[in-house]
A = this chain, B = another copy of it.
Amino acid sequence: MQRKSLGNMQCPIARSLERVGEWWSILILRDCLHGLTRFDEFEKSLGIAPNMLTRRLTGLVEAGLLERRQYSERPPRFEYVLTERGRDFQPVLATLLVWGNKHFAPEGASVVIVNRETGELADPVVVDRISGRPLSDPVFSTAPGPAAEGETRERHTRLLNSEDV
């Protein structure tokens, strides 16, 4: 009766969540992208118990999002640095930030994204690089990919047809 694994689903969202879906994981990645690397930095920043932090860091290392690196021989000291896979998580954090600011910051935003060249607030949106159109445009929908099998293929094919009307 283990927590049910999402990793063997075909859905890329499910597979992502298998790696970062546990309590604390995404906040640790947030801190990493803010430049934190050391155990006690995470501990203080998050207010997380050290045993939990160890579990999460180990998990993120195993998932290939972080690398555990020795930065001192004597005394032996380690730090955690993002891999490319971990850095690639940034867009997810940006969209979570925007969503949080819009819906859960009634007192106003506490964290924003700024363009340091112009000083202006950024307004992050997801667009399709090919067409330049916002992904919210109804022309976009999910579809089965080349590796889709069985239920996944049916599910997304169905969806495509039903929205084609």
Question: Does the CB pair B146–A108 fall under 8 Å?
Answer: yes
Question: Does the CB pair A111–B146 fall under 8 Å?
Answer: no
Question: Does the CB pair A100–B13 fall under 8 Å?
Answer: yes
Residues of B within 8 A of A47 (CB): 4
Residues of B within 8 A of A74 (CB): none
Do A139 and B117 form a contact, CB below 8 Å, given A26-B17, A126-B126? yes
Q: How many copies does the complex hold?
A: 2
A13 to chain B: closest residue by CB: B96
Q: Given contacts A124-B126, A127-B127, could you give 20 more A-B pairs where the C-beta distance is less than 8 Å?
A: A7-B104, A11-B30, A12-B96, A12-B104, A13-B26, A13-B93, A14-B27, A16-B96, A16-B100, A17-B96, A34-B142, A45-B155, A90-B136, A94-B135, A108-B147, A110-B147, A112-B145, A113-B135, A113-B141, A123-B129
9 A-B pairs within 8 Å (CB atoms) are namely A10-B111, A12-B104, A13-B26, A15-B104, A22-B23, A91-B99, A109-B148, A110-B148, A116-B164
